[in-house]
Amino acid sequence: MYIQSRSSFNKRLKSILLAKKIDYRVSQRDNLLKFVSLLHWCMGADRFKGFVSYGFYKGGFTTTKPAPFESPKDYMFGSGSMAACDNCSSLSCTKCPRCEKPHCFDCFWNKLHRC
């Protein structure tokens, strides 16, 4: 579940980079470490507890079925993510799962947003 989510995040991030013509290489060591760190931090949000517990349910470790949830990719890159950035007022591409505010690529991914 986590690997699939990480892959879909990576694909979505790359498509944003291509569409906005941002010079950023996800495959560079420092950028990859930032990406994994930020993704791990985002997955710890209360909003995604159902998503995380679903992996344990599907694997047979628990018998309690979690409540319906929105996937991290759908929430962070879905509706509401294309608004003015909360920090710099440029067009955002990501919605933070913790503070629930939209952020541009530079403010969220480059500067490792922590609210």
pLDDT greater than 90 at residue 12: no
pLDDT greater than 90 at residue 1: no
What percentage of residues in the chain have a pLDDT greater than 90?
14
Instruction: State whether the Cα torsion 8-90-25-31 is positive or negative.
Output: negative
Q: What is the pLDDT of residues 37-62, one digit of tens each?
A: 888 898 889 998 988 889 899 899 99
Structure tokens at 77: 């890159």
Burial of 64 per CB tally in 10 Å (0-12, 13-18, 19+) = exposed
Structure tokens at 29: 């060591």
Cα–Cα distance between 29 and 67 in angstroms, integer? 37
Q: What is the pLDDT of residues 67-112, one digit of tens each?
A: 898 888 888 888 777 888 888 888 888 899 999 999 988 888 888 8
